[in-house]
């Protein structure tokens, strides 16, 4: 994927909650040298801190709730239309707690990223930190990956490891992971925006 050089990449960020990853991307985007313009933030629910962060930064937002559509496929198509309307070079799930359907994925092939609070392929799903802790691992971390049709199964772009400490509970481990996660996500999105990227089978390379 090669983007127009010298023009900031158009990025749409999808959120469902706190939005600290979004905040990190917004902060990085303030520097023109970062090469990213967060053109919109989309959510599947109202009244979340992530939307407030986007609005405070003057970024356009949209909310489409599954409950307001007759079928999940209708929601998926409408959500894809809303994202596509912002003509993104890259779509980034940052704590977006919905699985995109095949219709959505087909609209943004190899340009839809997600971030997960575990070292995939270990502990996919909604509770990466909780599941790693329950398993008793000594190291966990975060993974940024290109979304495919599975649950957290797509080609991996970057990972970082984080120690699990004896006194950890889910919240303390997740917070330690999120510090690394924000760093990795900001780094990866910026490099992809500036350098482009290639997905060959399961290998993702940023030149
Ligand atoms: C992040 O840790 C992200 O990896 C996780 O939600 C958190 C959102 O934090 N996502 C998932 O677990 C998806 N399976 P944030 O709202 O503060 O960015």
The CATH number that applies at residue 20 is 3.40.50.170
Does residue 104 lie in a domain region? yes
Going by DSSP bridges, is the β-strand pair 9-15/36-43 parallel, antiparallel, or unpaired? parallel
pLDDT attached to residue 1: 77
Does residue 3 lie in a domain region? no
Residues of the chain below pLDDT 50: none
Does residue 195 lie in a domain region? yes
Does residue 4 lie in a domain region? no
Please state the φ and ψ torsions of residue 150, each to the nearest 5 degrees.
-95, -175
Does residue 113 lie in a domain region? yes
Does residue 116 lie in a domain region? yes
What's the number of domains the chain is made of?
1
Whether 140 is in the pocket of ligand 1, judged by its Cβ within 6 Å, is no
* Position in ligand 1 atom list of the atom nearest CA 124: 14
What is the span of the domain harbouring residue 106?
Answer: 9-205
Render 107-140 in DSSP notation, one character per residue.
HSTT-EEEEESS-TTSS-SS-HHHHHHHHT-SEE
68 Cα–ligand 1 center, Å: 24
Q: Give 10-66 pLDDT, tens digit per residue.
A: 999 999 999 999 999 999 999 999 999 999 999 999 999 999 999 999 999 999 999
pLDDT attached to residue 58: 97
Helix (H) or strand (E) holding 26: helix 20-29
Say if pTM beats, i.e. exceeds, 0.85.
Answer: yes
């Amino acid at each position: 994927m090669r983007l127009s050089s010298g023009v900031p990449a158009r990025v749409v960020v999808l959120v469902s909650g706190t939005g600290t990853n979004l905040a990190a991307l917004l902060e990085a985007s303030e520097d023109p040298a970062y090469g990213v313009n967060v053109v919109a933030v989309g959510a599947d629910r109202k009244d979340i801190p992530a939307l407030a962060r986007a609005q405070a930064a003057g970024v356009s937002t949209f909310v489409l709730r599954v409950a307001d559509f007759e079928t999940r496929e209708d929601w998926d198509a409408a959500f894809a239309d809303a994202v596509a309307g912002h003509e993104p070079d890259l779509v980034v799930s940052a704590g977006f707690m919905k699985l995109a359907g095949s219709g959505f994925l087909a609209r943004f092939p190899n340009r839809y990223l997600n971030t997960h609070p575990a070292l995939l392929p270990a502990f996919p799903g909604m509770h990466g930190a909780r599941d790693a802790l329950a398993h008793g691992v000594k190291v966990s971390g975060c993974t940024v990956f290109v979304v495919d049709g599975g649950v957290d199964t797509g080609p991996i772009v970057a990972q970082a490891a984080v120690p699990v400490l004896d006194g950890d509970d889910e919240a303390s481990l997740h917070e330690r992971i999120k510090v690394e996660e924000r760093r990795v996500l900001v780094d990866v999105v910026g490099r992809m925006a500036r350098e482009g990227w290639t997905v060959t089978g399961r290998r993702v390379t940023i030149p």
